Amino acid sequence: MKICILQDHLRNGGTERQSILLAQRFLAEGHATTLVRFRPGGTLSGLLGAVPNVVLQPFDCRLNGFAPGLIRRLRALDPDVILCMGREANRRGARLQRAFPRTAVVATLRTGKPLSAGFRRSLHAVAHVVANSDASGDVLRAKHGVPAGRVSVIKNALVFPPGTAAHDEALRTRHGAGPDTVVLLCAGMFRPEKNQSALLSIAARLPASPDWQLWFAGAGPAEAACREHCARAGLENRVRFLGFQTDPAPLYRAADVAVLTSRSESLSNFLIEAQAHGLPAVAYAATGVAECLADGRSGRVVAMDDADGFLTALTPLITNAETRARFGAEARDFARTAFDPAARARDYLALFAQLNPDRA
């Protein structure tokens, strides 16, 4: 099959990482695959490696929605499947399906944010829609009225498969964490909907002993406000702002517990990856979060905005090393099985073959 993956910009985000991973996997399975992106550059562009890619903007216009010559470029590529990844790509799904009636245009729902009118129209015009969680699949059917037969659920794949590296004591030492310090990790862009400020408020209520630190990995417009919140709460000695991480795997190896208070998810790559590295997780019940962990075994899912419940769930993982180790072992087994990259890529390819039986 000839597959085009459509992505507006390779910023540092979970969807963008999934786009690159799927392109690499499809190529490895012997399918001619091209990543078509609107903007040049991007934080993750260096990860493309040997993936063939087409850039539509002649120079970076800094407009995510500007896709000059999209139809012309796609005609030249003549794909059997166009996989739309990200909001800007998905809102073009209806137009693409009209322009390429013999091509299977596949939309994806990978966000908990409200959808634009163009995105919603595309859901009903394309050949098929893939949701990355059961909860998002329910949203497609119940809220947006997409027929069940045109919806599939294919969950995210592990972008940073864990190796066998030992606990990264050098990184812990660099950030002032001793052998007995319990490191809590939250990785993701600093945006209002990611709600890192709530995590700071919870951290301010944690007991002083045993020793703990909270590490934030990521950057974004809400970071300055979170730094101010940290200072007001007197947490400067406990909290580390580590900035953008191209590869967060060393942080997973250095940390002890994954924590997430986001309000907007579809399926959290951070929770999946952290658990695959053996970190138990505590998270608010945003869309799809309950599918990211085995509640009560690999971590705890807490009702949205229940700060008391979050604190109750988190405290045993900080104070009891045996509990932390037991949950961590369950987390590792769960995540490595449920989100295997090769299996998830094969799920996509099986779907594409169903949509294009003559071209599979």
CA torsion 308-312-314-319 (nearest 10°) is 140
Residue 165: per-residue pLDDT: 56
Statement to judge: residues 290 and 351 lie in one domain: no
Looking at the domain assignment, is residue 44 inside a domain? yes
Q: What is the residue whose two structure tokens read 């939250």?
A: 186
Domains of the chain: total: 2
CATH number at residue 271: 3.40.50.2000
Asked whether residue 326 falls in the same domain as residue 345, the answer is no
Indicate if 202 and 56 belong to the same structural domain.
no
Please check whether residue 162 lies inside any domain of the structure.
no
51 in Cβ contact with 21 (< 8 Å): no
345 and 282 together in one domain: no
Judge if 6 and 98 occupy the same domain: yes
How does pLDDT run across 99-125, given as a tens digit for each residue?
999 999 999 998 888 899 999 999 999
Whether 312 is in a domain gets the answer yes
| pLDDT tens digits, 37-90 | 999 999 899 999 999 999 999 999 999 999 999 999 999 999 999 999 999 999
Residue 98 has which token pair? Answer: 């009209």
Q: What is the pLDDT of residues 121-137, one digit of tens each?
A: 999 999 999 999 998 99
The neighbour count for residue 224, using CB atoms within 10 Å, is: 10
pTM of the predicted protein model: 0.81
Q: Is there a single domain that holds both residue 119 and residue 78?
A: yes
DSSP secondary structure code for residue 167 in this structure: P
Nearest to 199 by CA among 180, 218, 181, 172: 218
pLDDT per residue as tens digits for the range 173-232: 999 999 999 999 999 999 999 999 999 999 999 998 999 999 999 999 999 999 999 999
Please check whether residue 360 lies inside any domain of the structure: no
> Is the domain of 347 the same as that of 333?
no
Q: What is the pLDDT of residue 164?
A: 56
Closest Cα to residue 352, out of 126, 104, 86, 107? 104
Task: Give the per-residue pLDDT at 360.
Answer: 57
Name 217's bridge partners.
187
96 belongs to a structural domain: yes
One domain, residues 99 and 80:
yes
Q: Is residue 350 part of a domain?
A: yes
Structural domain harbouring 173: 169-338
Shared domain check, 267 and 180: yes
In a domain, 21, yes or no: yes
Residue 116 and residue 209 in one domain: no
Q: How far is CA 213 from the centre of its chain?
A: 24
Please check the confidence at residue 141 and state whether its pLDDT lies above 70. yes
186 and 142 belong to one structural domain: no
Q: Could you report the per-residue pLDDT of 263-301, keeping only the tens digit for each?
A: 988 889 899 999 999 999 999 999 889 999 999 999 999
| Tally of CB atoms within 10 A around 339 | 22
Q: Do 93 and 192 reside in the same domain of the chain?
A: no
pLDDT score recorded for residue 202: 97
Give per-residue pLDDT as tens, 293-336. 999 999 999 999 999 999 999 999 999 999 999 999 999 999 99
Judge whether 163 lies within some domain: no
